[in-house]
Structure 1
Amino acid sequence: MAQTFDGKVAAITGGASGIGLATAEALLAQGAKVVLVDRDADALGALSERHGARCIAQVTDLLDRDSCDAMVPEILDKAGRIDILHCNAGTYIGGDLAETDPATIDRMLNLNVNAVMKNVHAVIPHMSARGSGDIMVTCSVAGHAAIPWEPVYSGSKWAITCFVQTMRRQLLGKGIRVGQVSPGPVVSALLADWPAERLQRAKDEGALIEPSEVADAVVFALSRPRNVTIRDMVVLPSAFDI
């Protein structure tokens, strides 16, 4: 039997747009209280006003060390507990490695990998003390295949796949489930670096999915009975690899 979200508290990074916002809205619709974590204070304010008291704004810049470190304590001050942590924030670089620069590489790895590890590290004591919790990470199909036009992004997602699967084993005995969702291309701002002709072709061929379709997979995984862990869900547009 699926688990209810009534009274649960979910914290979602990158919550002001895309997959994060779609997941937040899906959980709100099922009775959860949601803490939207993002650096865009204006967007968070508008979303909190739209969704009401069960939608809490948490302004955090995950690339700022002090702000990132303060995230979990500040969420606990506002919401009292964290039942679900969805590490969703991320960024994208496509193209040949020679065409990017070290600062851009650092930014991607800090957000896609380091911030995820630090957020999980920060929430473990709280969830362990309660003997229960769910950690969900937005990964990518690029974390399962070597995508030649996005070596930095693909490398970051391979790192996350390894991290999630090792933490799933480490935290099982503490009552904490850890899993990931690995979408194919999603209609979002992250595709802005795609070559224009490739993006248009993907749209024309139906090779993109909507954030809400990824959110459906996240909610399904989180709603399983506690004796069931969905370790990874690969969610692809049907025309992705035709």
Structure 2
Amino acid sequence: MADRLNGKIAAVTGAASGIGLAATEALIAEGATVVMVDWDEAALAESAARLGGAAIAQVTNLLDPDSCKAMLPEILGKVGHLDILYCNAGTYIGGDLDETDPDTIDRMLNLNVNAVMKNVHAVIPHMKERGVGDIWVTCSVAGHTAVPWEPVYSGSKWAMTCFVQTMRRQLREYGIRVGQLSPGPVVSALLADWPAENLRKAKESGSLIEPSEVADALVFALTRGRNVTIRDMVVLPTGFDI
């Protein structure tokens, strides 16, 4: 069924590739206008041109405090209001903790945790004033179980699980639904840091899902009646054993 989100305006972070791009395509297919947020200006321009007038490019570097702070005002300057904020941008660190370095840890936590909290913080007054809204966050199955080969990444996603569930409780009385998508391994650039043996086994066993399958789950959640909140969707490849 198309047009279930007809007239809705969404902002998707990390929209130039992977889950963010698939989510953008899925939302547009349902009738939404999507502000595509990413730091990659060239990739945004290419995708926006391909997707037509329903896609609006917003160049934001979420790791730059000033750019991150300016994101929501710049979005509202382009579209007037937001019905949906999908905080999807993130990065990945795998391997033993002592094999990484503090700067890499900082970068991942700033993007996976701090930027999400700041984006949600920024949109709350706008959605409260309108009395309606949907906030979704890309988490991970790693936010529900301690994955031994990714302690930093898992830590960031556990933080997001807690954050989403507390914000859901804070905002439900204002007509704002908050939830998270928690996929297993998705075919994307983020898997580049996976241990080679783990990646090989996942590919051979069919234990990977496509970004479009995560986007399908997002559309399902957003198209429920306002009396229903899907608070957390864990989307796993059937062959994924964790």
**Same-fold call, TM cutoff 0.5:** yes
What is the distance in 2 between the residues matched to 1:29 and 1:201? 34
* Equivalent position amino acid for 1:209 in 2: I
Once the two structures are superposed, residues 49-78 of structure 1 have per-residue CA deviations (whole angstroms, 9 ceiling, x without a partner) of 111111000000000000000000000000
Q: Distance in 1 between matches of 2:109 and 2:30?
A: 33
Aligned to 1:14: 14
Unaligned runs of 5+ in 2: none
Cα deviation per residue 1:57-101 (whole Å; 9 max; x = unaligned)?
000000000000000000000011110000000000000000000
Question: What is the total number of aligned residue pairs between the two structures?
Answer: 241
Shift of the alpha carbon at 1:4? 2.4
Write the mapping of 1:25-174 to structure 2, written as runs, cut at 5 A.
Answer: 25-174=25-174
Q: Is the 8 A contact 1:60 1:67 kept in 2?
A: yes
- CA shift, 1:48, in A, is 1.1
SS for the counterpart of 2:42 is helix
Letter in 2 for 1:125: P
Q: State the 1:3 CA deviation.
A: 8.8
Q: Which runs of 4+ in 1 moved over 2 A?
A: none
Kindly provide the amino acid, as one letter, of the partner of residue 46 in structure 1: E
Per the alignment, residue 225 of structure 2 pairs with: 225
Q: Output the CA distance in 1 between the equivalents of 2:68 and 2:181.
A: 23
Query: In the alignment, is the contact (CA less than 8 A) between 1:3 and 1:225 conserved in 2?
Result: no
The alignment's TM-score, normalised by the length of structure 1, stands at 0.98
What amino acid sits opposite 1:8 in the alignment? K
2:3 & 2:105 partners in 1: Cα distance? Answer: 40
Matched-pair identity in %: 76
Name the Cα RMSD after superposition. Answer: 1.1
1:200 paired with 2:206, answer no
After superposition, the Cα gap between the structure-2 partners of 1:133 and 1:3, relative to the gap in structure 1 and judged at 3 Å, is: farther
Query: Following the alignment from structure 1 to structure 2, what is the Cα–Cα distance between the partners of residues 28 and 129?
Result: 25
Distance 1:106 1:67 in 2: 18
Offset, 1:17: 0.5
Distance in 1 (alpha carbons) for counterparts of 2:158 and 2:175: 25
Letter in 1 for 2:159: A
Cα deviation for residue 196 of structure 1 reads 1.5
**Do the aligned partners of 2:3 and 2:29 also contact (CA within 8 Å) in 1?**
no
Shift of residue 139, structure 1, vs aligned partner: 0.2
SS of match in other structure, 1:72: helix
Q: Which amino acid aligns with 1:37?
A: V
Q: Distance in 2 between matches of 1:4 and 1:121?
A: 27
1-structure distance, mates of 2:195, 2:95: 8
**1:181 match: secondary structure:** strand
Deviation at 1:114, TM superposition (A): 0.3
Question: Which range moved further: 84-93 or 195-204?
Answer: 195-204
Give the C-alpha shift of residue 198 in structure 1.
1.5
Separation in structure 2 between the aligned mates of residue 240 and residue 175 of structure 1, nearest angstrom: 36
- For the 8 Å contact 1:135–1:176, the answer to whether it is kept is yes
Q: Is the 8 A contact 1:32 1:54 kept in 2?
A: yes
Contact map agreement 1:3 1:224 (CA 8 A) in 2: no
